[in-house]
């Protein structure tokens, strides 16, 4: 079988006698070869890899080979994609053998087709020849696969086939870069920074943002978006894309936008976006790994990536840890385990005295007794009724409830000898925090807020667990 294109490549010439095509590559150029429906049962038929000839421009060129497979050999089954980077191409005509095992997660028993894309050099001509399924592609245990060089000047050469690194990055030198592991509700929705210590948030219109078990669940409003800044990350010759686990119901769609800036100035960035459909994503309600390969974005400046943004979410989605991955294929970012905090072993004697003023009597769903805002991270976790508020945090210790004491800043010096009284029933396994402004009460002066101090309610509760 000889690959064909969709008209996206330039200066295309077909040499049918020698079964090869020559073309000029550009950012959108790709070639594909498909099998007759419903699929090619390659591994069942005894094949264990793909072989093709390629002549790349001289000078350590690379390309990406995508395999499309389905879980079952059915005409209605939805194909999923796995990617592999072939690098170290010399400029001579070479035959590349890629074992199916090099495509992580691919089902070689149900192959739909192959796509050749991500050509690293656009300044000279490429050539792709006959493409075949083979029985002797090897086991794929090594990152460097022996290929035959068909030029008369050399007998053999090495082509690097990399799922985790490219030719310009020595093996072991590249480490996946974590953007966010969703380790804390308060870090995300109060402090507004990610694992890179850079800004992250929504546009203020998300219905809810809930963090639990190193996952974040976004429930979107009509036009909400969520973003995470990545500084000015250079992914060139290092990271092949960004990936994360996603859990979403069938029929869910969303938009992924990457922002870049040649000057590393996020205020003057260039945006490139693709829909989940264009990325080949489908959802079925289970958590799976999904990748955002950079080569799929037209003219993306991979040397100056400043942000990633998600928008147009038509249903709630849950993201796992978000990270840049090395090379052509990613995998879920491993999250370090953490120990549970120690349970308090002593308590502070209860205080008593008259009320100075009432902060909240829970008579209004939107405002407290002082007339200022109150609310929580996730409206589904609390209910206000009959002068009380009932919490059900569903095991998520990072979810919070907030009540505002003033419109800007309050001086509590007169209450130095006072105390905060909370009437409650149920568990005392919660904390109470006080947010302190900076000395000038100026939102434009860092730090804002200055500090966030909390105490454990269990150390101050009475034996009846009512105060």
pLDDT tens per residue across span 385-430: 989 999 887 666 677 888 888 877 888 887 777 788 888 888 888 8
Cβ-in-10-Å burial (0-12, 13-18, 19+) of 77 comes to: middle
Handedness of CA 358, 360, 363, 368 (dihedral sign): positive
Confidence of residue 315 (pLDDT cuts 50, 70, 90): very high
pLDDT at 319 over 90: yes
pLDDT at 195 over 80: yes
pLDDT in tens, 268-313: 889 999 999 999 999 999 999 999 999 999 889 998 999 999 999 9
pLDDT at 461 over 80: yes
pLDDT of residue 154: 30
Q: How far is C-alpha 142 from the geometric centre of its chain's CA atoms?
A: 28
pLDDT at 100 over 80: yes
Structure tokens at 153: 């000047």
Residue of 237 and 347 predicted with greater confidence: 237
Distance CA 361, CA 355 (A): 13
Poorest-pLDDT segment among 147-151, 182-186, 316-320: 147-151
The CB-side HSE value for 102 (13 A sphere, CA atoms) comes to 33
* Preceding omega of 38 cis (within 30 degrees of 0): yes
% of the chain with per-residue pLDDT over 70? 84
pLDDT of residue 124: 81
pLDDT in tens, 134-169: 876 544 433 333 333 333 333 333 344 443 323 333
Order of strands, edge to edge, in the sheet holding 20-24? Answer: 4-5, 31-34, 111-117, 61-69, 80-89, 156-162, 144-149, 93-99, 49-55, 125-134, 20-24, 10-15
Confidence of residue 181 (pLDDT cuts 50, 70, 90): very high
Residue of 19 and 162 predicted with greater confidence: 19
pLDDT of residue 179: 95
Poorest-pLDDT segment among 159-163, 168-172, 189-193, 220-224: 168-172
pLDDT at 353 over 50: yes
For residue 287, what are the CA distances in angstroms to 124, 214, 250, 283? 42, 13, 12, 8
pLDDT of residue 166: 30
% of the chain with per-residue pLDDT over 90? 25
Q: Is residue 200 a contact partner of residue 180, using CB atoms and an 8 Å limit?
A: yes
Distance CA 249, CA 164 (A): 30
Question: What pTM was computed for the model?
Answer: 0.47
pLDDT of residue 248: 95
Chain mean pLDDT for the chain? 80
Provide Rg for the chain, Cα atoms: 28
Mean pLDDT of the 243-253 span: 95
Q: Taking the CB of residue 434, how many other CB atoms lie within 10 A of it?
A: 12
Q: Is residue 210 a contact partner of residue 202, using CB atoms and an 8 Å limit?
A: no
pLDDT at 346 over 80: no
pLDDT of residue 355: 63
For residue 124, what are the CA distances in angstroms to 254, 301, 315? 36, 20, 45
In terms of Cα–Cα distance, which of 330, 336, 290, 332 is closest to 310? Answer: 290
pLDDT of residue 466: 77
pLDDT of residue 2: 44
Confidence of residue 327 (pLDDT cuts 50, 70, 90): confident
pLDDT at 82 over 80: yes
């Amino acid at each position: 079988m000889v690959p064909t294109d969709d008209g996206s490549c330039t200066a295309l010439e077909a040499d049918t006698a020698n079964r090869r095509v020559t073309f000029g590559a550009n950012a959108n150029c790709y070639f594909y070869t498909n099998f007759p429906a419903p699929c090619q049962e390659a591994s069942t038929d005894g094949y264990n890899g793909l072989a093709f000839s390629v002549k790349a421009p001289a000078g350590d060129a690379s390309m990406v080979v995508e395999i499309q497979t389905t879980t079952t050999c059915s005409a209605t089954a939805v194909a999923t994609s796995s990617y592999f980077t072939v690098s170290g191409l010399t400029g001579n005509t070479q035959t590349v053998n890629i074992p199916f095992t090099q495509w992580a997660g691919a089902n070689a028993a149900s192959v739909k087709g192959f796509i050749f894309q991500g050509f690293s050099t656009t300044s000279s001509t490429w050539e792709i020849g006959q493409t075949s399924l083979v029985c002797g592609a090897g086991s794929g245990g090594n990152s460097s696969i022996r290929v035959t060089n068909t030029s008369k000047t050399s007998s053999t050469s090495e082509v690097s086939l990399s799922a985790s690194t490219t030719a310009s990055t020595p093996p072991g030198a590249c480490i996946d870069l974590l953007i966010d592991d969703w380790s804390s509700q308060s870090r995300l929705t109060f402090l507004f920074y990610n694992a890179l210590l850079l800004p992250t948030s929504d546009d203020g219109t998300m219905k809810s943002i809930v963090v639990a078990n190193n996952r974040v669940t976004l429930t979107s409003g009509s036009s909400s978006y969520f973003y995470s800044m990545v500084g000015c990350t250079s992914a060139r010759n290092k990271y092949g894309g960004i990936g994360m686990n996603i859990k979403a119901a069938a029929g869910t769609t969303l938009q992924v936008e990457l922002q870049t800036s040649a000057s590393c100035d996020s205020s003057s960035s260039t945006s490139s976006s693709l829909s989940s459909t264009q990325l080949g994503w489908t959802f079925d309600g289970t958590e799976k790994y999904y990748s955002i390969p950079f080569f799929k974005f037209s003219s993306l400046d991979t040397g100056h990536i400043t942000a990633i943004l998600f928008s147009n979410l038509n249903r709630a989605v849950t993201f796992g840890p978000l990270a840049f991955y090395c090379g052509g294929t990613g995998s879920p970012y491993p999250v370090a385990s953490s120990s549970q905090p120690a349970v308090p072993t002593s308590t502070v004697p209860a205080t008593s005295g008259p009320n100075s003023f009432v902060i909240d009597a829970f008579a209004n769903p939107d405002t407290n007794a002082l007339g200022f805002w109150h609310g929580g991270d996730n409206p589904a976790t609390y209910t206000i009724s009959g002068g009380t508020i009932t919490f059900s945090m569903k095991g998520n210790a990072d979810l919070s409830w907030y009540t505002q004491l003033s419109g800007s800043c309050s001086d509590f010096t007169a209450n130095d000898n006072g105390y905060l009284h909370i009437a409650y029933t149920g568990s005392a396994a919660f904390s109470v925090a006080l947010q302190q402004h900076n000395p000038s009460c100026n939102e434009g002066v860092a730090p804002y807020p200055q500090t966030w101090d909390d105490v454990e309610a269990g150390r101050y509760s009475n034996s009846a667990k009512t105060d």
